[in-house]
């Protein structure tokens, strides 16, 4: 754990005393968010950045977002990314930068960091494990969408033609291998888990742990593709609606909050309908 060492020299009655004090810096203390502005870099699409923006707004930290490069536009995005990519640790976004630490990459690591520093990982061990499982479920849904769903950059023509996208949306067989699991199976697991958590409309008592931020972001990605996707899953639908209505969530949904512009739909319907206009 990084520490700060302070050496103090005092002279009293002709004798010199040197005292060395070692303390952990605030950037490493659980529950103590580093002071100063936090910076998050991510593309202007609803994929792996929105959950972080949601968590930052729910945490109430002072933050600002950039889409790839300060002052960049949609027109310069790809060119900007070619320039910025080699400067990142892993050649990818999102990247969070907080005062006193090296840049942090990988969405789930960033979310775990925010949860730990800002008290958004559940009030006790039980909620901590709920939070973590929801985060992973959100990631599983993301990875399923990456496998089958057309995106604003890739129509996935062969995958759609092979019927894999349609199968994801129609398959409710819970015995299928999880790589072939349909959206209804993910949602029925989330419906049952919600009941087991027994925490009212949300999964945890606060309803805004980093796991719930990630889950909400992926539920929203599903809803953008198919508006009635939660039909038959009332607990999931209620969780989605109440999370969307929270003021800290609305800012991100409306215009990307502290990002210079809102997030565009990334995963598209396979029926060829165009994504909505940018905010």
Ligand X SMILES: N[C@@H](CCC(=O)N[C@@H](CS)C(=O)NCC(=O)O)C(=O)O
**Binding stretches for ligand X (CB under 6 A):** 43, 47-48, 85, 91-94, 106-107
CA nearest neighbour of 2 among 100, 114, 104: 100
- Give the number of other Cβ atoms within 10 Å of residue 139's Cβ: 18
CA–CA separation, 108 vs 52, rounded Å?
A: 9
Is the CB of 96 or the CB of 229 nearer to ligand X? 96
CB closer to ligand X, 93 vs 229: 93
Q: Which is nearer to ligand X, 36 or 91 (CB)?
A: 91
Q: Which of 99, 102, 107 is nearest to 42 (CA)?
A: 107
Give me the least distance between CB of 262 and ligand X, in Å please.
Answer: 17
Tell me if residue 144 falls in helix, strand or coil: helix
Three-state SS at 109:
helix
Least distance CB 105 / ligand X (angstroms): 6
Measured from the CB atom, is 95 or 236 closer to ligand X?
Answer: 95
Please provide the distance, in angstroms rounded to a whole number, between the alpha carbons at the two ends of the chain.
42
Output 94 or 122, the one with its CB closest to ligand X: 94
Tell how strand 63-66 and strand 38-41 pair up: parallel
- The nearest distance, CB 93 to ligand X, in angstroms, is 4
- Min dist CB 201 to ligand X, Å, is 28
Residue nearest to ligand X as judged by C-beta position: 92
- Return d(Cα 122, Cα 133) in angstroms, integer: 12
With H, G, I as helix, E, B as strand and everything else as coil, classify residue 23.
Answer: strand
Distances (CA, A) of 14 to 7, 10, 11, 17, 19: 19, 10, 6, 10, 16
Q: How far is the CB of 145 from ligand X (least distance, A)?
A: 11
Q: Which is nearer to ligand X, 48 or 156 (CB)?
A: 48
Give min distance, CB of 112 to ligand X, in A: 12
DSSP assignment, residue 190? H
**Would you say 92 or 154 has its CB closer to ligand X?**
92
State the pairing for strand pair 95-97/15-24. Answer: unpaired
Minimum CB separation of residue 42 from ligand X in Å reads 8
């Amino acid at each position: 754990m990084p520490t700060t060492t302070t050496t103090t020299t005092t002279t009293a009655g002709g004798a010199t005393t040197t005292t060395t004090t070692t303390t952990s810096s605030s950037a490493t203390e659980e529950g103590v968010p580093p002071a100063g502005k936090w910076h998050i870099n991510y593309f202007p699409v609803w994929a792996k950045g929105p959950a972080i923006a949601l968590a930052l707004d729910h945490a109430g930290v002072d933050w600002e977002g950039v889409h790839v490069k300060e002052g960049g536009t949609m027109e310069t995005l790809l060119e900007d990314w070619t320039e910025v990519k080699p400067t990142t640790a892993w050649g990818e976004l999102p990247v969070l930068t907080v005062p006193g630490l090296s840049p942090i990459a990988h969405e789930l690591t960033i979310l775990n960091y925010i949860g730990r520093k800002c008290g958004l990982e559940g009030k006790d061990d039980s909620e901590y494990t709920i939070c973590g499982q929801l985060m992973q479920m959100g990631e599983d849904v993301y990875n399923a969408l990456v496998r089958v769903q057309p995106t604003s950059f890739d129509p996935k023509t062969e995958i759609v033609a092979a019927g894999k996208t349609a199968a994801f949306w129609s398959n409710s067989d819970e015995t299928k291998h999880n790589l072939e699991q349909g959206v209804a199976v993910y949602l029925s697991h989330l419906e049952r888990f919600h009941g087991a958590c027994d925490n009212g409309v949300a999964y945890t008592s606060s309803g805004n742990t980093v796991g719930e931020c990630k889950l909400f972001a992926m539920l929203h990605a599903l809803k953008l593709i198919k508006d009635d996707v939660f039909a038959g899953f009332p607990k999931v639908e209620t969780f989605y609606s109440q999370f969307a209505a929270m003021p800290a969530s609305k800012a991100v949904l409306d215009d990307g909050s502290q990002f210079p512009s809102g997030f565009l739909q990334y995963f598209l319907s396979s029926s060829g309908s165009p994504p909505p206009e940018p905010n």
